[in-house]
Amino acid sequence: MDPYPLPLHIISREVSSKWTDALHGHFSTEEPNDVAAARTQHKKVLNEFTKRSISVEILAADDNSPDCVFVEDHAVIVGGRAFATRLGAPSRRAEAKPVHAALGERVEVVHMEGNGTLDGGDVLVLSESVIVGRSRRTSDEGIQQLEKFVLETGHSFHVVDVPSFSLHLISICTSPAPGHLLISEGWPLSAFDDVDAHIHRLPFSQSYGANVLPLGKDVLVAEGFPSASKVVEEIGLTPIPLNMDEIRRADGSLTCISLRFYASD
């Protein structure tokens, strides 16, 4: 199997000192409570990039923005351009400016207009297609603007409705390798009928494990969710388990803490 290529560059952001005030309530019964643990887990994910010689750009934290480490929500990068989003949670919109400025140093940036909302966590960019999830954070207006942006890149565009138990699309739907989707139980059986991919379903109790981050032949997976690791091994890749317990308490996952640029970008 040909795996996804390694990113050339990533943008991330330090964990806010107000971490314990981060939004939460979807993935854990525990509230974010340990800023030091969040910083340690964040650093370990970034180390997986640097040990593979991937360029890492780390923006300073905004200590007035508890969720600022979750940079993925602020943009969708496709075909050498970035779509700068307007987040669905009003309390997070102040995070956007430095992230969008950093993107502008590397790629053309197209900004959302009007009052639509879109979180990057609701968008899965594949080799030739883009899947967007309609959710409590992503509106129809936001989806329409993203569709225009995506179709200009030559990618196909697919819309699915995110189940109510999940905050975002890619919280419970990612792609460990080209031609494969890893999803949790809870999606309608027909949700991905028009996406050309083999579907791997995880048990509902393992839903958090459906968020994985491919790095070539290695795939970062959340520690403690063996069903995801098993799928990764079955398709011929190597799972790299990482402790995400504290990040999870703020509804975050492996992909949330970086924006990734590839050769085609």
Q: What positions carry a catalytic annotation? A: 168, 256
Tokens representing 32 are: 């974010």
Tokens representing 58 are: 């780390």
Q: How far is CA 187 from CA 64, 129, 191, 203, in A?
A: 36, 19, 7, 11
CA distance 36 to 245: 12
Query: 3-class DSSP state for residue 240?
Result: strand
> What's the chain's length in residues?
265
State how far Cα 120 lies from the chain centre. Answer: 7
